[in-house]
Chain A
């Protein structure tokens, strides 16, 4: 997918003064209304994209969904701590002194309790922070590293391109699962480190996409013009190439967030990933499958949260991709 230009397209509608008498007419000054109209019409790429996006119902719903999820995970723990006064690690007890193990959802525990007597709702909200942090962190690191590498490879070409390609190939071929497991064991990673390790496997994908776009943009006229004008490489990359690449970055970021959240749940299923007693949606889900028949309220909430979050993120990314597609 190539982005053609970032410059505003000259207006074609608006007032056109007929040429007469063979004389070139000097353009008269525009009235305020005409001026406003001209700017409105020559909106440029992003405004148009936003317009498209706004009308794509699915994407708007997805955006709203993400917003709600983020809001819940940000505010939820605060509400739990100060209003409800519950904590994710507290082992709750029944009036008779026994631990409140596997209580179904009810008055006292809105989403029930888990096999250690902890309130599921509270855990779910705190876990959301972990899962979303992983998702966004991974996407962020992957974008930063991948874009830098992709831009360098696509713009400079030559040996830089070869080097970056070689590194990409190398990382692609690393047996991911094994290394993830080994790194989890060696470093006992906390959330940031885990995100870093995940991002290590995500960035080549980003880099590849960015490289492709950068390569095709590099040969366009205005870039060549800027080069011949003596603009520094840095200026060219940041002013001309980066904006063109930003679309693909946004789309990739979306898929990275989704991929990271799902990947973390797979890792927890294998016994690694976010370490207990810290809870993430992934390890809440994988830790509860054995109890599916006995306590389904342990399975549906984290599963639903993962599903909704990833779904919204992916829909958003899809919608962005379509909105930013200049051919459509």
Chain B
């Protein structure tokens, strides 16, 4: 499991599931798994994608044709080596200073064209992916690496700039997967016209080879020279579908797996006898929050933010998610049981307390209109993307609740790109956010570190920044846990955003599909490390 695939999985995963499916039928070799996707197929199949075409569909496909140095156990949430899919012979040896990791490649590693996979292929990949102009989406992580050397065909030596916490260190060090140097040498790294391998790779290291890629489907066939465990399934097909038809495809046996489908159809899926619906809380699921723009003077006083928060009932939010959600209190979700801290200020629903806090903050209720100290009525604008039905609903709900406090609340549904632009430019009062949860809490820097690239709220707490810095390099996991616990506590106390719910993952399989093991991870395609044992019964 490479960090690349993990990143891809963590980025864009609306629905990931964990739980076995009770298949009817025996495991057998052969067969085709037809996966119904929502959204568009990958536009290019580059193992080191640029941000604009990175996405869930690319992650799914890449999981099938790439392979990584190490495996990831989604049960224990840690790295290990599974000879069935890992290219390293064992976990890396670590230098005493904790900065240098040495990997030894297994014997008999082969590309799908028969050529051996050597460390030169890894070196080639690193040399290109680490270049800034190549715009690799995971460049940030690679920048932690000081040097990447391959002294002999079976050895890779990665040196980090500083000794990081063990989990982060191994993830970073094993992030690079190989690119067939003998095929890519001399060809363009970015241009799919000049290098057709980018459009559709013909020489791969993983268990499946892409055969066909069009606007409506992607087909992958078995790689006969795969060095790891040969999977049971002969082929995997991906079909695109619209939200209204994706479940119907499985119902009419035109597909075997509806990977994502609208929550509104959940009960219908459960009622269908030929379908297995699986759902659970994933570690890297999605969560929602209500973000306050801390730069607005209205939100400078915590009492105001607290009052607004007390006027919202998480239980109502869960209802609006068709009960497929759980309460969430901070940036780490319930699914991430290792790192979550539930001993934080939760701000339960209390309308009276909200009103009292407003009075304390100097706001007065004039009839039905809340006015500030200077007599101006309070006005708040909530923005959300219209592409999200749940957020549309929740904005309307929040509007109602805040209106009962006397606040003139306007909801403004924006088209997605416009929404993102306004949040990025910090031109909003309140924004409805939906984010993907993190595997390692260090990744939460994105939103709550003062320099985080997606820190829309403008939250800046020097102590939090300091704790992040410490946590990044702390080797002792118990101490790490304390640091991140404190971060969560501070975050809840400071309330730059109100965390509402974590979304449960759910997906629908045809009962013919078997061998799917539970996975706390997201995306079953990329985090269920036993695709090799999946089968489609007769």
A contact residues vs B (CB 8 Å cutoff): 89-91, 98-99, 101, 115-116, 184-185, 188, 271-272, 275-277, 287, 289-291, 293-294
Determine whether the beta carbon of B397 is less than 8 Å from that of A91. yes
Interface string of B477-497 (1 = CB under 8 A from A): 000000000000000000000
Known: A101-B319, A276-B411, A287-B389. A91 touches B400 (CB 8 A): yes
A99:B262 contact, CB within 8 angstroms: no
Once the chains are docked, how many angstroms separate the CA of A272 from the CA of B416?
11
Query: Is B451 at the interface (CB under 8 A from chain A)?
Result: no
Judged by a CB distance under 8 angstroms, whether B396 is at the interface is yes
Residues on A with C-beta less than 8 A from B395 are: 277
Name B379-424 residues within 8 Å CB distance of A: 386-387, 389, 392-393, 395-397, 399-400, 411-415, 417-418
User: Which one of B262, B315, B392, B415 contacts A276 once the chains associate, using CB atoms below 8 Å?
Assistant: B392
A294 in complex: contacting residue of B243, B268, B412, CB < 8 Å: B268
* B residues apposed to A, CB below 8 Å: 243-244, 262, 264-265, 267-268, 315-316, 319-320, 386-387, 389, 392-393, 395-397, 399-400, 411-415, 417-418
Q: Can you list 17 A-B pairs with a CB-CB distance of less than 8 A? A: A89-B399, A90-B400, A99-B316, A116-B320, A185-B417, A185-B418, A188-B412, A275-B386, A276-B386, A277-B395, A289-B244, A290-B243, A290-B265, A290-B389, A293-B265, A293-B268, A294-B267
Q: Which residues of B contact A276 (CB under 8 A)?
A: 386, 392, 396, 411, 413
Given A98-B319, A293-B268, A294-B268 in contact, is the A271-B386 Cβ separation under 8 Å? yes
How far does the alpha carbon of A61 sit from the alpha carbon of B497 in the complex, in Å?
Answer: 57
Are B320 and A101 neighbours in the complex by a CB distance under 8 Å? Answer: yes
B264 x A290 contact (CB < 8 A): yes
List the 7 closest A-B pairs by CB distance, nearest first: A290-B264, A293-B268, A185-B415, A290-B262, A277-B396, A291-B264, A116-B393
Q: In the complex, how many angstroms separate the beta carbon of A323 from the nearest chain B beta carbon?
A: 41
A184 and B415 alpha carbons, distance in the complex (Å): 9
CB pair A116–B397 under 8 Å, yes or no, is yes
What is the distance, in angstroms, from B515's C-beta to the closest C-beta of chain A?
30
Which among B262, B320, B395 has the greatest number of chain A C-beta atoms within 10 A? B320
Q: A99-B319, A115-B264, A276-B396 are known contacts; what are 7 more A-B pairs with Cβ within 8 Å?
A: A90-B400, A91-B397, A116-B396, A185-B415, A276-B386, A276-B411, A277-B395
Contact among B320, B387, B413 with A115 in the assembled complex (CB-CB below 8 Å): B320
Q: Would A115 and B415 be within 8 Å (CB), given that A91-B400, A98-B319, A276-B386 are in contact?
A: no
Nearest CB of B to A123, in Å: 11
List, in ascending order, chain A residues with CB within 8 A of B386's CB: 271-272, 275-276
Q: Which residue of B lies closest to A291 (CB)?
A: B264
CA distance A91 to B400 in the complex (A): 8
Minimum CB–CB distance for B275 against chain A, Å: 13
B336 shortest CB reach to chain A, Å = 28
**In the bound complex, what is the Cα–Cα distance between A67 and B521 (angstroms)?**
58
CB-based nearest B residue for A182: B415
Compute how far the CA of A185 lies from the CA of B415 in the bound complex, rounded to whole angstroms.
6
Contacts of B397 in A (CB 8 A): 91, 116
Considering the complex, give the chain A residue whose CB is closest to the CB of B396.
Answer: A277
Chain A residue nearest to B261 in the complex (CB): A290
Contacts of A293 in B (CB 8 A): 265, 268
- Residues from chain B with a CB closer than 8 A to the CB of A89 are 396, 399-400
What separation, in Å, do the CA atoms of A99 and B321 have in the docked complex?
A: 12
How near does chain B come to A227, taking the closest CB pair, in angstroms?
A: 53
- From B394, which residue of chain A is reached at the shortest CB distance? A116
Given that A89-B400, A91-B397, A277-B396 are contacting pairs, would A271 and B244 also be in contact in the complex, using a CB cutoff of 8 Å? no
